[in-house]
Amino acid sequence: MHPPTSLTARLVGGLVLVALTTAGIAGVAVDRTVQRHTLESSTRQLDATARTFGQMTASALFGDLDPNDTSLNPPVRALAHAVDAHLSLVTPDGAPVADSDRDDPRSAGSQRNAPEVRTASRHGVGSAVRAGRLWVARSIERDGRRLGYARASIPMARVDRVVVALRWQAARAAGGAVLIALVLAALISVGIVRPVRRLADDARRIGGGDLGHRATVRGDDEIGALARAFNDMTASLEGMVRRLDGRNRDMRMVLDTMGQGLLMADRHGVVLPERSAPVDQWFGPIAPDTRVWDLFREASPRDRLNLQMNWEQLFEDMLPVEVTLAQLPSRVTCGEVVYEVSYEPIREGGEVSRLLLVLSDVTASVYAERMEAEQRDLLAAFNAMTRDRKGFEGFLSEADALVEGITEGAPGPVELKRAVHTLKGIASLYGVRSVASLCHEIETRMADDEPRLTAAEREQLTGTWRGLRDKLAALGGGTNDSALDVRHEDVDALQSLIERGEEHALLAQIVGSWKMEPVDRRLARLGEQAKQLAERLGKTPPDVVVAANGVRLDAQRWAPFWSVFSHVVRNAADHGLEAPDERAARHKPARGRIELRAWADRHGVLLELRDDGGGIQWERLREKARAHGLPSATHDDLVAALFTDGVSTRDEVTETSGRGVGMAAVRAVTESLRGTIEVESAEGQGTTFRFRFPLNAAVNTLYAASRAPRVLSVPAAHMMASLAPAPLLTQPPQA
C-alpha cells in the first residue's frame, strides 16, 4: 500500500512554480534597473569625456574663455569626431565659444539656463536629459578660478539601443522561465486542481441552499481532511439556519405587527428587499431599483427633490453625516397621508453605506394636532371677539380681503409678499396661529423659490381660512356695520351745542361723524396686541399709553392702513423693546413703554407710535442699505431704506419679523393715502414713527364746512375751540 501523497509535497512543487514565475516577473522588473544603470553608465562615460575635454582646454588656455574668440571651434570639432560625442565650450556667463555641431558656436545662444550648466555652476558637474540628448557639463578650473564649462552629449537613441539589447536578453530568459512554469503548472494541476474543483462544486450546491448535500471525501491527505471539516461545518450551518429561520419568523411577526414600516436603501437610494410588511401595505409592490423618493409618488415635487438632493449630499461627504441627516425631511405628506420618517445610518469600514428608514403613519396624530390648533384658534378668536367685537369684525373683513387678493387675484411678486406678510401679522396679533404659521411657511418657501403661490398653497390657505371663518360665523363672528359707536361724552357735547343754538349744518356734521370709527379703539387694540406679542417673545409686557384726542376715521377707507400699521406695532414689541436683562443693563424700568397717539386739526391728521426701547441701529441699517445698492449718506436715505422691500436690521428670519417686507407695505399704503413718514431714533433711547396725512388727499374733517364728513371728526367739545385757523401740528402736544 502506497502512503498517501501529502498536500505539503504538492505545495512544495507549487512553491517551485511560484519561484520560477517570480523569477520571470523579476526579469521583467529588471528592465527599469537596466535602463537606469545604462543611463548612469552613459552619464559616467560622458562625464569622463567632459572632464578630459575640460582638462585639455584648461591646459591650452592662458586666461578665461573669451566669448568673442571662436578659434577653438576647429580643434573641438576634431576632438568630438575622435571621441564620437558632441562637445562644446561655454564661458562662465553661458556664452558658447566652441560647438562641434556648429560652424558658428554663438548661434546656439546663451546656455546660462541650461540645466546641466546651472548644476555645474553650483556643484562643478551637472547632467540633464533634454531635446533627445544626454548632456554632461564640467566646470573648467585652474588655480582655483573657473574658466568656463566643458560639455559633452550623445543622442538618447544610443542609450536606448543598449537598453533594447538588454531587454531582449531579459525577454529570452523570461520566456524560458515561462515555459518551465507552464510545464510545472500542468503537472501540479492534475494533483491539486481536480479535487479542489470537486470541493468547490460541493460548496456551490450547499451555497445554493442544498444544506443536506455532503462533500465526497477522497484520500487521507489535507484535502480529504478539508472535505470532512467542510461536511461538519455544513451540518452545523444547517442546524444554525433552522434556528435562525425560527428567530426570523418571530422577529418578522414582531416587525409586521408593530405598525411601523422599516426599509433599507443603499447609497443610491435604491430600496433593498429587506423591509417590513407595513411598507408593502402602504406603498404596494415595490419594483427592483425603486428609489426612496419614488415611493412617495403623491408627495409634492419640492419634498421629493429635497429628499433626493440631501440623500445624494449625504454620500458625497461634503458635510458631517449628522448635519446632512438633520436636513432630510422628517415628515412627508402623500395626499391625505402623513408619514414621519427617521433615518439610521449603517456604517461599513467607517463609512455610511446604507440607511435604515423607520416610517410611521402619523396621519391621525397630525389631524388631532390640527384639530387642537383649530380649537386653540377658535378659542383665541372667540376671546378676541368677546373683548372687542368691533375690532374683531374689522380683522375678519381685512383678512377676507387679504386672503381673496392672495388666492384669487394676480398680485405681482412684491405685492404678494407684502399681502402674505400682512396677513401673517394680523392673524398672529389676533391669535389665529394656524393662518399665521401657514403664511410663515409660504414666506419661507417663496424666499427659497419663485415668489408665487403654488396650487397646493392656494388651496391650503383658502381651506384653512374658510374653515375657520365658517366656524366663527356660526359663533356669531360676522360683521355688523349698522351699529354706531357713540359715547356719553359725544351725546353730552352735542346736547350742549344744541342748547347753545349752533347751526344745523354743524350739528349734522357732528352726528354724521358718529358713523366713523373712534381711533382710540384701534390704538387700544394694537396696544393690547403689543403686550401679548411681547409676552410671547419672553419679554415683560410693556405699559401702553393711548391718546386719540377724539379723532375718528372712516373704518373702511382706513382698513388697509390699520392692517399694515400692525407691522410697526409688532416691530416695536419685537425689535424695539429690549429683553429684561438688556433693559436692566441700561438702567431702564423692567417694563417698557409704548405710546400710541393721534391728533387732528383743520390741516390734517397725525398718528404717532413711540417706544422707549433700544432704538434703530443706524450703522447696521447703513450696511444693509449699501448691500442692497441703496443710498445711505443722509438720514432721509436711511429712513427710505428702512421702508424698502428686503431690508431688515435682523440677520435671522423669525415667524415675527426679519424679512424686510412689512415696513415696505407700511410705506406703500401710507403713500396711497398721500401721507408722509418721519422717524426719530437714538440708540438706547427709543424710536418714534410719525405719520402725517393731509386733508386734501386722505381725509375730510369737520373743518370742511361744504362737505359731509367722511373720514375724520373731533368731539364737539373740542370743535368750537378749533374753528379759528390753526397750523398743522409740527410738534405733537404733550399728553
DSSP 187: H
Give domain status of residue 208, yes or no: no
Residue 576 shares a structural domain with residue 723:
yes
Question: Strand 96-99 vs strand 686-694: parallel, antiparallel, or unpaired?
Answer: unpaired
And the C-alpha cell for 497?
A: 351745542
User: Which pLDDT belongs to residue 255?
Assistant: 55
Torsion, CA 437, CA 440, CA 446, CA 447, rounded to 10: -150
DSSP 105: G
**Taking the CA of residue 261 as centre, how many other CA atoms within 13 Å lie in the half-sphere pointing to its CB?**
19
Alpha carbon 20 to its chain's center: 60
Instruction: Give the start-end residues of each E strand in 643-717.
Output: 676-682, 686-694
**Taking the CA of residue 705 as centre, how many other CA atoms within 13 Å lie in the half-sphere pointing to its CB?**
8
Torsion, CA 537, CA 538, CA 543, CA 546, rounded to 10: 10
Residue 152 shares a structural domain with residue 37:
yes
Residue 593 shares a structural domain with residue 730:
yes
Distance CA 686, CA 373 (A): 36
Per residue in 525-545, pLDDT (tens digit) is: 889 888 988 888 888 899 999
Give domain status of residue 632, yes or no: yes
Per residue in 59-97, pLDDT (tens digit) is: 777 777 778 888 888 888 888 888 888 888 888 888 898
Residue 262 shares a structural domain with residue 121:
no
Give domain status of residue 218, yes or no: no
User: Which pLDDT belongs to residue 169?
Assistant: 79
Exposed (0-12), middle (13-18) or buried (19+): which is 371, by Cβ within 10 Å? exposed
Residue 699 shares a structural domain with residue 564:
yes
Last residue of a domain, one of 97, 131, 162: 162
Residue 141 shares a structural domain with residue 262:
no
User: Which pLDDT belongs to residue 679?
Assistant: 94
**DSSP string spanning 496-564?**
HHHHTT--HHHHHHHHHHTTSEEHHHHHHHHHHHHHHHHHHTTSPPPEEEEE-TT-EE-HHHHHHHHHH
Distance CA 568, CA 284 (A): 53
Q: Cell 544626454 sits at which residue?
A: 134
Per-residue H/E/C for 58-103: HHHCCCCCCCCCCCCHHHHHHHHHHHCCEEEEECCCCCEEEECCCC
Residue 263 shares a structural domain with residue 149:
no
Give domain status of residue 390, yes or no: no
And the C-alpha cell for 713?
A: 371728526
Mean pLDDT score across all residues of the chain:
77
Directed axis angle between helix 363-387 and helix 433-448, to 10°? 120
DSSP 573: I
CA distances from 71 to 60, 98, 101, 137, 197 (A): 12, 8, 15, 21, 82
**DSSP string spanning 376-442?**
HHHHHHHHHHHH-HHHHHHHHHHHHHHHHHHHTS---HHHHHHHHHHHHHHHHHTT-HHHHHHHHHH
| Domain that includes residue 39, residue range | 10-162
Is the alpha carbon torsion for 719, 725, 729, 731 positive or negative? negative
User: What's the CATH number where 329 sits?
Assistant: 3.30.450.20
The total number of structural domains in the chain stands at: 3
Distance CA 110, CA 172 (A): 47
SS3 605: strand
User: Which pLDDT belongs to residue 260?
Assistant: 81
Residue 24 shares a structural domain with residue 142:
yes
Give domain status of residue 195, yes or no: no
Residue 502 shares a structural domain with residue 635:
yes
User: Which pLDDT belongs to residue 715?
Assistant: 41
Residue 306 CB contacts under 8 Å (≥ 6 apart), including other chains: 329
Which residue, among 600, 489, 622, has the nearest Cα to 552 in the 3D structure? Answer: 600
Is there a contact between 694 and 619 (Cβ–Cβ < 8 Å)?
A: no
DSSP 677: E
And the C-alpha cell for 71?
A: 578659434
Last residue of a domain, one of 127, 162, 197: 162
Q: What is the pTM of this model?
A: 0.44
SS3 154: strand
Give domain status of residue 252, yes or no: no
Residue 152 shares a structural domain with residue 270:
no
Length of the chain: 735
User: What's the CATH number where 594 sits?
Assistant: 3.30.565.10
Give domain status of residue 400, yes or no: no
Last residue of a domain, one of 361, 380, 407: 361
Helix and strand element counts for the chain (H, E): 23, 17
Exposed (0-12), middle (13-18) or buried (19+): which is 59, by Cβ within 10 Å? exposed
Is there a contact between 612 and 573 (Cβ–Cβ < 8 Å)?
A: no
And the C-alpha cell for 269?
A: 437610494
Amino acid at 410: A
- DSSP H/E element including 343: strand 337-348
Is there a contact between 572 and 613 (Cβ–Cβ < 8 Å)?
A: yes
Is there a contact between 424 and 436 (Cβ–Cβ < 8 Å)?
A: yes
Give domain status of residue 295, yes or no: yes
Residue 147 shares a structural domain with residue 262:
no
Distance CA 499, CA 492 (A): 11
Amino acid at 646: G
Residue 312 CB contacts under 8 Å (≥ 6 apart), including other chains: 269
Residue 685 shares a structural domain with residue 572:
yes
Residues of the chain with pLDDT under 50: 1, 7, 697-735
Is there a contact between 323 and 313 (Cβ–Cβ < 8 Å)?
A: no
Give me the phi and psi of 171, to 5 degrees please.
-65, -40
User: Which pLDDT belongs to residue 688?
Assistant: 95
User: Which pLDDT belongs to residue 184?
Assistant: 65
Distance CA 604, CA 280 (A): 71
Alpha carbon 363 to its chain's center: 29
